[in-house]
């Protein structure tokens, strides 16, 4: 899979970055092919990799039974890689074959240290995406309370792009 600046610039997390900033990021992001059934992250494990979806469908689920799917280009899995507490809060598995780009934690920290302005821009964008994700999960929980046993999380669209 080939990554170029145009492909990266289409992802919400990187949309507002200059070409110079994107050039700095490119060596630190890694394209990966993901296969149906592959586990990306496991709830409770130390966060090591942030996945940014390019294609495919993914189930994100919690030990307490909550679950939702992600499938939009730019959706993130494993956001705690770049935010405290640096442990995955959820598990995720691929429902279909797909592609993603990954940012290992050590590369993200390198970016933060080598260019704090760039690191802060990415962190702010990721924080906003996390806020949107949390609101989506909260809304899903409210709609799936026991008083409404027929509600299904599959009826909901994926959270806002880049989440």
pTM score of the predicted model: 0.78
Range of the structural domain that residue 124 is part of? 5-155
61 in any annotated domain: yes
133 in any annotated domain: yes
Residues 6+ apart with CB under 8 A from 54: 1, 7, 31, 73, 98, 99, 100, 101
Q: How far apart are CA 101 and CA 98, in angstroms?
A: 11
Angle between helices 105-114 and 116-143 (to 10 degrees): 130
76-132 per-position pLDDT tens digit: 999 877 777 788 989 999 999 999 999 898 888 888 888 888 888 888 887 787 777
162 in any annotated domain: no
pLDDT band of residue 143 (cuts 50, 70, 90) is low
123 in any annotated domain: yes
Q: What is the CATH number of the domain that holds 126?
A: 2.60.120.10
34-89 per-position pLDDT tens digit: 999 999 999 999 999 999 999 999 999 999 998 999 999 999 999 877 777 788 98
145 in any annotated domain: yes
How many domains, in total, are found in the chain? Answer: 1
160 in any annotated domain: no
163 in any annotated domain: no
What is the pLDDT at residue 124? 83
161 in any annotated domain: no
Residues 6+ apart with CB under 8 A from 11: 52, 73, 74, 101, 162
């Amino acid at each position: 899979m080939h990554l170029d600046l145009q492909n990266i610039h289409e992802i919400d997390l990187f949309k507002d970055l200059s070409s110079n900033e994107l050039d700095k990021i490119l060596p630190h992001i890694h394209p990966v092919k993901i296969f149906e059934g592959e586990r990306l992250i496991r709830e409770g494990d130390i966060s090591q990799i942030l996945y940014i979806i390019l294609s495919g469908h993914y189930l994100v689920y919690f030990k307490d039974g909550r679950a939702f799917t992600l499938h939009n280009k730019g959706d993130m899995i494993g956001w705690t890689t770049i935010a405290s507490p640096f442990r995955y809060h959820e598990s995720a598995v691929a429902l279909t074959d797909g592609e993603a780009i990954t940012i290992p934690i050590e590369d993200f920290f390198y970016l933060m240290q080598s260019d704090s302005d760039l690191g802060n821009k990415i962190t702010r964008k990721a924080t906003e995406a996390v806020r949107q994700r949390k609101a989506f999960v909260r809304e899903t929980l409210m709609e799936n309370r026991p008083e409404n046993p027929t509600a299904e999380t599959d009826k909901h669209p994926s959270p806002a792009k880049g989440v």
